[in-house]
Each structure stands twice: as C-alpha cells, then as structure tokens.
Structure 1
Amino acid sequence: MGVIIALVVSFGALIIGFMGEGGHVGALISWTPAMIVFGGTIGSSMLAFPMSDLKQIGRIMKSGLLYEPGDLNQLVAYFYELSVKSKKEGLLSLEAEVSNNPDADPFLKKGIQSLVDGESYESISDSLGNEIDRIEERHKIGAAIFNSAGGTAPTMGIVGTVLGLVHVLEGLAEADMSTLGKSIASAFLATLYGLASANLIFLPMGNRLKINNQKELLEKELILEGVLLLQKGLSPKTVQEKLMGFLNGDEGEQSGSTASVAREAVGAA
C-alpha cells in the first residue's frame, strides 16, 4: 500500500503541476518516445546482465514491493521460549515448532529442523550461512539491475529527444508552423520519460532493495545465531542476552519487556 501511495503522490504531483500551468494530460502521452526510452533501457539491461538474472525480475520486484521485515523483538522472545522448552524436554521437542506452524519463516523452520535432526554446529552454520549469502546476492543483483536502469533511462531520454529534433530540423524548411511546436514538444517527451522513470521508479526501487537487503540479512543472522545458541544448549537467559545484541537501543528495551512476558507465560505453563 505504501508503494502505491508513493507512486500516486509522485506522479500525481507532476501531472497536477503540469495541468496547473495550463497543460493537458494528452500532451504527455506518446508511444514513440516511450518505445525509445524503455526499449533502449531494457536492451541495455539485457546486455549488462545475464538472462538468468533478468528472468528473476518478477521475483525481485515482489521482494522489493511486498517484503515486510519480521519483528526482531518477537524473534528474541521466541528463541527464549524455544530455549526454555529445549532445556525442559530436549531438542527433539522442538519438532512440533516445524510441523505445527506451516506459515513460519522457511529459513527459521530449516534451522529448527536441523536441530531436531541432530546436525552439528558446523553443519548448521555452513548450511544456513550459505543460504544467507544467496539471499544477499539476490538482493544485490536486483538493486544493480534497477540502478543500472536508473542510469540508462535519462540517457536514452536524451537520445530520444535528439532523434526527435533531428526529424524536426530535417523538415524545418517545409514545416507547417502550426505543428512545429507540437513536434518539438513531442521530442522532449523522451527526456521527460527518461528522467521521470529513473528518479521515480528505477532508482527508488534499487534503494528499496538495498534497505530490504539489510533488514532481511539482520533478521536471518539473528535466526542463525539463535539456532546455534540452542544447539550449544546455553541457558535461556544467555540466549536472550546474546540475541538482544542484534537490536538497537529502543528495540532492546522493548525486547526486554517482551521477553519478560514470555518468561511469565512459560513459567505459568
């Protein structure tokens, strides 16, 4: 929803401002400059990146637009509960956490399943660590694709404008003065499309993927650390304190109160 609002605000401001100067929306629509700008940008991306990466663009966009970071405070409290349970009933008791919660984070489920299967500390660290590396690489590729498009689109816009002006100047001697202004305006639409798409879509999307990358990596690293602490069999209090190192000050205070509630609930059980 936030992405839709942002696009409506940004493009809406441009259109309303243009209309406020006396323009009309129809003057901003032309398929030829759009073909030059977006066709050229797509072609440049196809040359710059392997097709295997470009085929993932749908998944990458979904990640950038729909990704919602998990609550790190709840994760800390969750691992505290798991630690209490494993201390009382053993690591095998955590198998229910995998089978009874189909909506759980697949990465978290994989980590807990590794504990239940009795995998070694090194095996779990390597397996989950490699998956974190793959997630990071995916985000980097996605950000690079959109940042590349953000750099190419304005240039293609200038190319489109130059092509349009070449056509206008070529027939200037025989031009109908009543249509000359319209032809020049149409030529400059390519620059508009290039600048607007770069600064309102491609570059913001690249930055969004970078931010999501940082948030998702932090979440996955917390999960990895939590799983490894459970594998070591440390006390619930130690698990909580070590995982709180992933939180900033405000989150750390909130996590402390959340974990206290979790301790009371577990004790009551």
Structure 2
Amino acid sequence: MDLSTIAGILAGLGLIVLSIFFSAVEPGVYINLPGLLVVIGGTIAATLVSFPTSELGKVWRVLGYAFRNRQYSVRDDISEIAHAARLRRHGDLARIEDQLERIANPFLKTSIQLVIDNTPTDEIVNILQWRIKRLREQERAEAQIFHTMSVYAPAFGMFGTLIGMVNMLYGINGPDLNNVGHNMAVALMTTLYGLVLSNLIFKPIAIKVERRTEKRAMIMRMIVEGTIMLAGNRSPVFIRETLKSFSAEHDDELRGESSAFSDELRAPEKKSSKKNRNLDEDF
C-alpha cells in the first residue's frame, strides 16, 4: 500500500473541510448532491465517449497502481545477470536453464533466454527496446484516461454552475429575493467540485502512473545494458560493477540522493537475502 497517495488525498480533503468549517457562515451550503452528480456523471459520460471500452476496462487496474507501492529489486536483477554470465563463461547452460525457472522478472528472463539461444546482439537489443517502447506507450495511454478526466471535471463543474445561474436568474424577478444569494452559492459549488476532483484525484493519479512507468523503463534499460554485456561474454565482476554504476547514475539524476533510492529499490532483497548470498559466493 502506497501511504503517500492515501495521505495526500486525506490531507487535501482535510484542508478543504477545515477551511470550510472555519470560514463558512453556513457550512451546509457546500453540500450539493445534484451538483456533485452533474460533475461525476458528466465526467464519466464524456470519458466513455472519448475511449473505447477495451481501454476503459483497465481503469480500475491503473487506479490500483496509485495505491500500491510495488518495489523493484535492482540488486536482484544485477545478481541474476552476473550469475548467468559466470555460468555461460563455464559453458554450464543447463544451470542457466534452471536459473531461468527461478527468475520472476519476465523481461529479465526473456533477455537471458535470448542470449543463451545465441540470438545476434542487434536483434536482442531491437526486441528488448521494442518491448520497452510498447510498455511506455501502453501505460501512458492508461494514464491519459485520468488526464482526460482531469480536464472534463472542471468543464462539467462550470456546466453545473451555468445551470444554477440560469435557475437563479429566472427567479430573480420573483417575490422572494432572499434566495438569490443562496442559489448563487449553490450554483458555484459544482465548479468547486470539478476543481477538487481534477486537481486532487484525477491529475495526481495520472502523474503517479507516469512516474511508475518511467521507473520501470529505467530498470528495463539497465537490464538491456546487462544483456549486451552478457552477450559479449564479459566477466561477471565487470557486469556487476558496471550495472551498479548505471543504477547509481540514474539514481542521482532522479532523486539527487543515492541512499534513499537504493534503499527503496533494494527493499525486496530481504525476502531473497539467502539467494543473494549464494549468488555472491560465485564471485
């Protein structure tokens, strides 16, 4: 569970509620169920028109990405590549086949399999780069759904405001003018709902999904570099140290600190520490 997503949403909603509680003369006026229905219903309807059903079926999965804090063990991947390099240098292809059965990362598994099948390096690079490109395009398309919803929500908020203003102006010549101000406040609530949904829910989720995609693509590019060295029959120590440097370089570019990011990526190592110790013994 990604606590930052939950904490951010709760903090934003809490800030809104507190500001209303301390500043509003009548807090109840901020509850406008018909206006909320217009914003949410209109946003969903417009999104249904904008995207095919096959893509919209992935919305719940994409939404889950924002609330799951999935860790990626770069160190495990580096150890697997270095271990495969050692076995390949000794001509022990049978043990590499056994190693492939234990690898959970499908991209890494495919990379090593292509090498032991003696696929030309250029073809390996083309295949792996195509898979990275496909991943980025697919997940960016999924994030685009929430970017689109962040645009539609304020638009339908304004739509609800216009409906409320029309109703207010229609009754402005009536006998009871005391309700004009109240009706105007209710009319503006739909714009508020649209802005909150857009900037607190939809847009942040889209950005979080895009950040997840970039992190995954960075790890996959590191695996491609390791695969090239594995195909070139470089030494396990050289591969290990080069990929560590590759990881640290991207770490500095993304975070500006090596320790925090390394700890995050190495968190799953606790589950496979015994395996890593066995791999370290090969050097």
TM-score when normalising by structure 2: 0.78
Please list the CA deviations of residues 172-191 of structure 1 after superposition, one character each: whole Å capped at 9, or x if unmatched: 22264554443322211101
Identity %: 25
Deviation for aligned residue 1:84: 2.5
The farther-off stretch of 161-170 and 174-183 is 174-183
Task: Please name the residue that 1:196 is paired with.
Answer: 196
Task: Please name the residue that 1:172 is paired with.
Answer: 172
Whether 1:62 aligns to 2:55 is no
Task: Please name the residue that 1:208 is paired with.
Answer: 208
Query: What SS is found at the alignment partner of 1:234?
Result: coil
Write out the 4+ residue segments of structure 1 that deviate beyond 6 Å after TM superposition: 261-264
The farther-off stretch of 62-71 and 5-14 is 62-71
Work out which of the residue numbers 3, 6, 10 in structure 1 matches 2:5. Answer: 3
Deviation for aligned residue 1:124: 3.0
Task: Please name the residue that 1:47 is paired with.
Answer: 49
Work out which of the residue numbers 98, 101, 108 in structure 2 matches 1:99. Answer: 101
Task: Please name the residue that 2:187 is paired with.
Answer: 187
Identify if the C-alpha distance between structure 1 residues 26 and 96 changes in structure 2 by more than 3 Å, giving closer, same or farther.
farther
Whether 1:266 aligns to 2:281 is yes
How many residues align? The count is 261
**Do 2:81 and 2:112's aligned partners in 1 also have CA atoms closer than 8 Å?**
no
Task: Please name the residue that 2:84 is paired with.
Answer: 82
CA distance in 2, matches of 1:181, 1:80: 72
Please list the CA deviations of residues 19-47 of structure 1 after superposition, one character each: whole Å capped at 9, or x if unmatched: 12246765433332122222222233333
TM-score when normalising by structure 1: 0.82
Deviation for aligned residue 1:89: 4.9
Uncovered stretches (5+) of structure 1, i.e. residues with no partner: none
CA distance in 2, matches of 1:112, 1:22: 63
CA distance in 1, matches of 2:9, 2:28: 20
**Do 1:36 and 1:157's aligned partners in 2 also have CA atoms closer than 8 Å?**
yes
Deviation for aligned residue 1:61: 2.1
**Do 1:15 and 1:25's aligned partners in 2 also have CA atoms closer than 8 Å?**
no
Whether 1:16 aligns to 2:18 is yes
CA distance in 2, matches of 1:175, 1:99: 81
**Do 1:46 and 1:54's aligned partners in 2 also have CA atoms closer than 8 Å?**
yes
CA distance in 1, matches of 2:117, 2:76: 25
Identify if the C-alpha distance between structure 1 residues 265 and 246 changes in structure 2 by more than 3 Å, giving closer, same or farther.
closer
Deviation for aligned residue 1:15: 0.7
CA distance in 2, matches of 1:264, 1:29: 60
Aligned-partner residue type, residue 147 of structure 2: N
